[in-house]
Amino acid sequence: MDSQLSGGFLKHTLFPPKIFTPNSITLSNGVIVSHNAIGVVEITPPESDKAIVISSGIHGDETAPIELVDDLVSSILDEAFQPTSRLLLIIAHPDAIHAHTRFIEENLNRLFADTNPLRNKECELANNLQEQVQVFFKKGTEEPWHFDLHSAIRASEHYMFGVVPASTQATDIRPLVSFLKASHMDAVMLSRTPSSTFSWYSAEKFGALAATFEMGRVARLYENNMEEFKPLRDALVALLCGETLPAPPTEKGFSNYKVTRTITKTSDAFNLAFSDDAANFTYFAEGEQLAEENGTVYSAIAGGEAVVFPNSKVAIGQRAALLVQPFEPNLSEPLYVNVERDPGPVAFS
């Protein structure tokens, strides 16, 4: 076993040596494990049909995803399963993990639009991660996937859900929706406008089947009940190994949402009309006030809207809330998440 990883991927990421040297080992099953950078491990099997990025730690206090990625790396090193996909496994922001905070100076998950000026640690991390992902996807021609794993900072009407970014790529996301169902997610939310999140970067630049996963609530490292996420882990292992995905649960339903609007904070005068700790997917009937800023009032549209990720304390120019409505996609036809268009059978590219 690689001595750098003998104590665990997470331990090395949090307590790296002063001088890091990338290195690779070949396991007895022929899988190559490459420790490319602090917090970045690449897995190369003898043959592969997919190229999958699984990232965690973009926000340092969202620890269940970090523990899950650490467990996947350990299981591969122990040869508990043999992937048939090339993998890039990431624990992104050790400084924020140590501080148990979302970020140190700037929200890392808003920095994946392009190369950033080096004004802080988050900009440097985003640039390095974009380069790692670019090199990884360009190495081969396999089907690209990206799961960016997060945990919510608030309660939610749906404990686990996926957010699929909108892109200009003509990528049919039905396989991704099937995976969400197999991993016992409660809902999927389809975006409408481009963003600068990590999952959007892979979807837009490489046509990846990409989503941001919300896994429960934030907690201290090693204080998560990882049994809650066993169905997700089982589905990931099946996908990584080219096996049939587990059957979706029959005891609960699966909800589909599309984003109707994004509310952006443009001044310090912005205020939500409800408590900042309102649960994700809290519903507001038509006409109910949602927010106000310098005389502009935002109210729920016809049919009502549910609010997701409300946060009045974001920086000016950033998203203060997403508003969504339920819908039922026709899964007998391709499903595209189009920039500024309703999700539907015609890709805008």
Q: Which residues are catalytically annotated?
A: 214
Beta carbons of 257 and 187 less than 8 angstroms apart: yes
Beta carbons of 9 and 53 less than 8 angstroms apart: no
In angstroms, the CA 40 to CA 34 distance is 9
Question: Largest Cα–Cα distance of the chain, in whole Å?
Answer: 66
The label of the residue with tokens 């917090």 reads: 39
Signed CA dihedral, 125, 34, 65, 18: sign only: negative
Q: Is 59 annotated as a binding residue?
A: yes
Q: Which amino acid is at 308?
A: V
Signed CA dihedral, 97, 144, 5, 24: sign only: negative
Burial class from Cβ neighbours inside 10 Å (0-12, 13-18, 19+) for residue 18 reads: exposed
Beta carbons of 252 and 281 less than 8 angstroms apart: no
Beta carbons of 211 and 166 less than 8 angstroms apart: no
Rounded to 10°, the helix 198-206/121-138 angle is 30
Q: Is 47 annotated as a binding residue?
A: no
Token pair in block for residue 171: 């990528």
Burial class from Cβ neighbours inside 10 Å (0-12, 13-18, 19+) for residue 65 reads: buried
Token pair in block for residue 257: 């949402």
In angstroms, the CA 236 to CA 198 distance is 19
Which residues, listed in sequence order, are joined to residue 50 by a DSSP beta bridge? 143
